[in-house]
Structure 1
Amino acid sequence: MSSTENNNNNNNNNTQQPGLLGAHVQYVKGVAEETIGNVTGSKEWKASGAHDKGSSVDVMKALGEQRDSNKDGYGALEEQAGHLMGCDGMKKEGAESKPQ
């Protein structure tokens, strides 16, 4: 692999991680909005929350498919975070990236 190809791969990994983190943040935001909508009875808040959750799940799935869990995973830490957040993708990718 040339150094240019290697740099391009490193750049792709660096830009992917903030996207994955941003998608998780957007999901949590959606959950909060939906909760506010449920408590207040606001259809707008519920709809906004559902939209944020749905679009963030799409982004997380797409990025997860591109991710090499052997190189890009966080292992047991990611798996635990997945359990805490109820995120099956994090649980799966964390389990796959644990050192053998």
Structure 2
Amino acid sequence: MSGTNQNRGENPSQLSGHLQYVKGAASEMIGNTLDSASWKDYGRQDKEAAIGQMRAAKQQGDEEMDYSARKASSLSAEGKLQNVAGGLTGCGGMQERGSEKEKVAEQKTTEGW
């Protein structure tokens, strides 16, 4: 029923994964409201696929990320924004990435690299 960008041979995407997760949550909610097992299952499958896509996108981003070439100030600002956005949306991965960037920015500032 559900598909991810990965299944179509495209690069994994955080945005696409988040959208698919919302779609799955909505389907699951409809299933709960209508007491429909098929809607609930569809929603759960979509959410699971979305989580997989978000994890793959994070891993790909981690592999491509070169913090050494980035300014501490931009890493810090980006990290703070990701932390806030993650907190507002309830996305632990976004908060984790934001905290990581803030930590690297602080090290760069403290150690002068």
* TM-score, structure 2 normalization: 0.63
The amino acid of 2:56's aligned partner reads A
| Among candidates 8, 17, 22, match of residue 28 of structure 1 | 22
Query: Structure 2 unaligned runs (5+)?
Result: 1-9, 107-113
Residue segments in structure 1 that go unaligned for 5+ positions in a row = 1-14
- Identity between Structure 1 and Structure 2 (%): 39
Amino acid at match of 1:25: L
Number of the residue aligned with 2:85: 81
Report how many residues are paired. Answer: 84
Matches within 5 A, 1:1-100: 19-67=13-61, 68=65, 70=67, 74-98=78-102, 99-100=105-106
Give the 4+ runs in structure 1 shifted more than 4 A. none
TM-score, normalised relative to structure 1: 0.70
Once residues 88 and 45 of structure 2 are traced to their aligned partners in structure 1, the CA distance between those partners, rounded to angstroms, is 22
Separation (CA, whole Å) in 1 of partners of 2:66 and 2:34: 41
Q: Secondary structure at the match of 1:33?
A: helix
Please report how far the alpha carbon of residue 84 of structure 1 lies from its aligned counterpart in structure 2 after TM superposition: 2.0
When the two chains are superposed, the root-mean-square deviation of aligned CA atoms in Å is 2.3
Shift of 1:66: 1.8
Closer, same or farther: CA 39–47 of 1 in aligned 2, 3 Å: same
